[in-house]
Structure 1
Amino acid sequence: MRYMATYDLMETMRNTNQWLGATARTMASYPALALVPNPALQWAAAWGTVTERTFERMVVKPDWGIRTFTCADGQDHLIDINTVVEKDFGNLIHFDVTGREEMPRKILLVAPMSGHYATLLRSTVLSLIPDAEVYITDWHNARDIPVSAGSFDVEDYTLYLMDFMKHLGPDSHVIAVCQPAPLTLAATAYLAELEPDAQPRTLTLIGGPINPDAVPTDVTDFGARVTMGQLEETMIQRVGFSCKGVGRMVYPGLLQLASFMSMNAERHGKAFQDQILRVSRGEASDHDAHNRFYDEYLAVMDMPAEFYLSTVERIFKNCEIAKNEFVVKGHKVDMGAITKVAVKTVEGAKDDITAPGQCIAALDLCTGLPASKKASHVEPGAGHYGIFAGKSWRNNIRPLVLEFIDANASDAQADDGNVVPMNA
């Protein structure tokens, strides 16, 4: 599998299917054929429309689509998306509401590098903009990064997060969503050792696999039963000649997408069949529910091979974070070094990806943190997506997180000897 030809073959198949969709749509919509109305032609045009869009979206980075915001003055203010720290594998960007006074809350959202772009957190960003200055990690597609930029693994990821935190300063609040939660915890602990004055005020970990062995799921079971050699042989490929990162070893986005789709193949198949029927009947639109979801879901990015393999081996197999044995560039990071940053965990009661119990393990690792600076929340009835982007997030979790941030905005916090249940 580790060949450019394999990577190019997948891209060729994607490109061919996009072309077939465009061809079917164009031919079935030929004006002369309108003289002989035929349901089969309508269906063919609809199939082509859906197919072309589907395969085209797989290689397009979604736009943030966040352009204006209505402030307290009742006026619409433009939002400028500015890059404040630029790096080879990812940038730190800021959603700047023009004409609005700077908000006292400064929030860094740490987006996952797990196949989808940071735009997956678009609704999370939108929900926080009214109450805070929002920054987010915008990870790059590995296939667009030249080999000359070097490698990128979990240690490099951790150092990136430290740089972003240092840039924002000690008055910031960090929210890590899903996959980056363990590394964000490690970055905070390492920063506490090296530059304690640069630590953020609070750290909120949402649905992250701090201890994957705490409660097994299909994801953790997969990591346990597959060897690293099997993963490297079957999942890793070299970027083909059509991309800037030609020759870079990656876990291809198209291969990841195939895995995503296969997990719920029947549901996805029905969704596309229904969309084809809606298009043929003229009931679909460019921004209907199907397109809004799949335009984001289908947009996948390649991950650096080193990052993917080291995540599986060190976070899931060896549980280095859970055992407090994580090493960054030869230095063992001690989670007990966190003594000032208030830490909150959020889990979904029905999360089948990061089951309840995996994320709250972070609180036990923070042995140097007083109990008054620890908090946890389990959202009843919420799945994985809902705890950071659904109704559960908007209606219940977001207010609790903002309350936690405000309660720990200063250093003066007393230890009451108990973990604070923020959902009480």
Structure 2
Amino acid sequence: MRQMSTYDLMESFRNANQWLGASALSFASYPLFSMLPNPAFQWMSAWGQVTERTFQRMVAKPDWGIRTFTCEDGKDHLVNIETVVSRPFGDLIHFQVSGREEQPRKVLLVAPMSGHYATLLRSTVKSLLVNCEVYVTDWHNARDIPVSEGKFDVEDYTLYLVDFMKALGPEVNVVAVCQPAPLALAATAYLAEIEPDAQPSTLTLIGGPVDPDAAATDVTDFGRRVTMGQLEEMMIQRVGFLHKGVGRLVYPGLLQLASFISMNGERHSKAFTDQILRVAQGEASDNDAHNRFYDEYLAVMDMTAEFYLSTVERIFKGLEIAQNRFVVDGHRVDIGKITDVAVKTVEGGKDDISAPGQCVAALDLCTGLPDSMKASYIEPEAGHYGIFAGRSWRNNIRPLVLDFIDANAGRHKPGKPANRNAAAG
């Protein structure tokens, strides 16, 4: 009950702050006060508007906001989001562009389960829709999943990826962003051993902690400093009575958000202070740069306790992927068994979450691949978000990823014998 009470207390705190913002906005916007030229009312109204929106977004799943797409024919085509595979903890969805011929490139974008919704990759999806069939892993908020659905840890996550890859077939090109990079690598290796005909055509890993010890960051240092017992005591709570997942042990999204913000507290504080000033001066808008970013950044979801704890224990502390001794469903996965899937890594030179060196370590683990099927790239000036969104992604990284996909298209086909020369090397 202690954990459940703490969970409800956090939600009450969030709700109270949203109410305070709404009350300040309503009070300062009362028509009578317009007769009094007092800037205090403008400041109160601006503070209330920003505060209400900030705390309101924390519990709302953002919309993808991709409703139409302009194709080469110059016409706007509707974009329909179709569910290809539906599972309790996450779905495989397809962005189907109505009236457009099916594109030759089939891309599975593996979204991270690290506090934010898959909509964090909205701009990535939009950039790939130009000439790809885009599929995305749409993970569910753990607080909305009944306890009766069972557990969900890193092994279950990996098996979900295996099922999604099998559903899309061997012509799919997997692009894993951040947290799922090591698990996407493990899922590919698992298929290489269990069902080789279902392996993807290519695997691109973007800014993921394949070997967290390769380069230290605040994230890896934190994982080293605390024990699993301390993590469980500090971070894990039970979902309260307001949600379908009542009683489920989770790492709450609000607690995750507090951790995110604390890593760059001064920058976030300045961003909100500046936004209040812009609102007070009438220079802000509903879809300005601040709101576009923070509407997404503040929208957080709970993750299951077992997923969070097993990620820290097995990926960061135990280095099971980095040392090639990861076990899935009782089967020890051998990453060296990947012989037919071209692998590319992408890192950001200024990534302070998954520093350069952590992701490229995947290539050393792929001992069964020849160098001709391996590639790596570092975007010198990109931070963590820049390697999958923004200018660096659009102008530099995306073209390289698509060139890599095209260069290795059709390399793996069902029934094709394994690459014996590569395996021998």
Q: In which range does the TM-score fall when normalised by the shorter chain?
A: over 0.9
CA contact (8 A) 1:94 1:136 kept: yes
How far is the alpha carbon of 1:35 from its aligned partner?
Answer: 2.3
How far is the alpha carbon of 1:288 from its aligned partner?
Answer: 0.6
1:227-306 correspondence runs (5 A): 227-306=227-306
Q: Which amino acid in structure 2 is aligned with residue 169 of structure 1? A: G
1:70-85 correspondence runs (5 A): 70-85=70-85
Q: Deviations for 1:283-324, whole angstroms, at most 9, x for unmatched residues?
A: 111001110111011000001000000000000000000111
| Matching residue of 1:181 | 181
| Matching residue of 2:205 | 205
CA contact (8 A) 1:105 1:131 kept: yes
CA gap of 1:307–1:414, structure 2 versus 1, over 3 A, is: closer
Q: Classify the secondary structure of the residue corresponding to 1:115.
A: coil
1:310 to 2:320 alignment: no
1:301-380 correspondence runs (5 A): 301-380=301-380
CA gap of 1:314–1:414, structure 2 versus 1, over 3 A, is: closer
How far is the alpha carbon of 1:52 from its aligned partner?
Answer: 0.5
CA contact (8 A) 1:145 1:244 kept: yes
RMSD of aligned residue pairs (Cα, Å):
1.5
Judge which range, 233-242 or 369-378, deviates more: 369-378
Judge which range, 274-283 or 394-403, deviates more: 274-283
Measure the CA separation in 1 of the matches of 2:382 and 2:259: 23
CA contact (8 A) 1:177 1:206 kept: yes
CA contact (8 A) 2:339 2:419 kept: no
Q: Classify the secondary structure of the residue corresponding to 1:295.
A: helix
Q: Which amino acid in structure 2 is aligned with residue 330 of structure 1? A: G
| Matching residue of 1:130 | 130
Q: Which amino acid in structure 2 is aligned with residue 285 of structure 1? A: S
1:32-71 correspondence runs (5 A): 32-71=32-71
Measure the CA separation in 2 of the matches of 1:34 and 1:363: 65
Q: Classify the secondary structure of the residue corresponding to 2:25.
A: helix
Q: Classify the secondary structure of the residue corresponding to 2:134.
A: strand
Q: Deviations for 1:318-377, whole angstroms, at most 9, x for unmatched residues?
A: 000011100011110110111101101111112121111111111111111122111111
Q: Which amino acid in structure 1 is aligned with residue 333 of structure 2? A: V
Measure the CA separation in 1 of the matches of 2:58 and 2:382: 28
Q: Classify the secondary structure of the residue corresponding to 1:312.
A: helix
| Matching residue of 1:420 | none
1:394 to 2:402 alignment: no
CA contact (8 A) 2:171 2:200 kept: yes
1:213-232 correspondence runs (5 A): 213-232=213-232
TM-score, structure 1 normalization: 0.96
How far is the alpha carbon of 1:36 from its aligned partner?
Answer: 2.1
Q: Classify the secondary structure of the residue corresponding to 1:34.
A: helix
How far is the alpha carbon of 1:158 from its aligned partner?
Answer: 0.2
Measure the CA separation in 1 of the matches of 2:286 and 2:47: 15
Q: Classify the secondary structure of the residue corresponding to 2:87.
A: coil
1:384 to 2:387 alignment: no
Number of corresponding residues: 417
Q: Classify the secondary structure of the residue corresponding to 1:185.
A: helix
Measure the CA separation in 1 of the matches of 2:392 and 2:22: 39
1:94-113 correspondence runs (5 A): 94-113=94-113
Measure the CA separation in 2 of the matches of 1:157 and 1:342: 22
| Matching residue of 1:116 | 116
Q: Deviations for 1:157-205, whole angstroms, at most 9, x for unmatched residues?
A: 0000000000000111000001000000000000111111111100000
1:125-164 correspondence runs (5 A): 125-164=125-164
Q: Name the % identity.
A: 77
Q: Classify the secondary structure of the residue corresponding to 2:260.
A: helix
Q: Which amino acid in structure 1 is aligned with residue 46 of structure 2? A: A
CA contact (8 A) 1:239 1:249 kept: yes
Q: Classify the secondary structure of the residue corresponding to 2:213.
A: coil
TM-score, structure 2 normalization: 0.96
CA contact (8 A) 2:91 2:138 kept: yes
| Matching residue of 1:422 | none
How far is the alpha carbon of 1:37 from its aligned partner?
Answer: 2.7
Q: Classify the secondary structure of the residue corresponding to 2:212.
A: coil
How far is the alpha carbon of 1:415 from its aligned partner?
Answer: 10
Q: Which amino acid in structure 1 is aligned with residue 4 of structure 2? A: M
Measure the CA separation in 2 of the matches of 1:399 and 1:330: 39
Measure the CA separation in 1 of the matches of 2:211 and 2:47: 44
CA contact (8 A) 1:371 1:415 kept: no
How far is the alpha carbon of 1:414 from its aligned partner?
Answer: 9.2
Measure the CA separation in 2 of the matches of 1:18 and 1:268: 18
Q: Deviations for 1:30-83, whole angstroms, at most 9, x for unmatched residues?
A: 112222232111111111111100000000001111111110111111100111
Q: Which amino acid in structure 2 is aligned with residue 65 of structure 1? A: G
How far is the alpha carbon of 1:390 from its aligned partner?
Answer: 2.0
Q: Classify the secondary structure of the residue corresponding to 2:136.
A: strand
CA contact (8 A) 1:2 1:233 kept: no
Measure the CA separation in 2 of the matches of 1:157 and 1:316: 16
For structure 2, which runs of at least 5 residues remain unmatched after alignment? 413-417
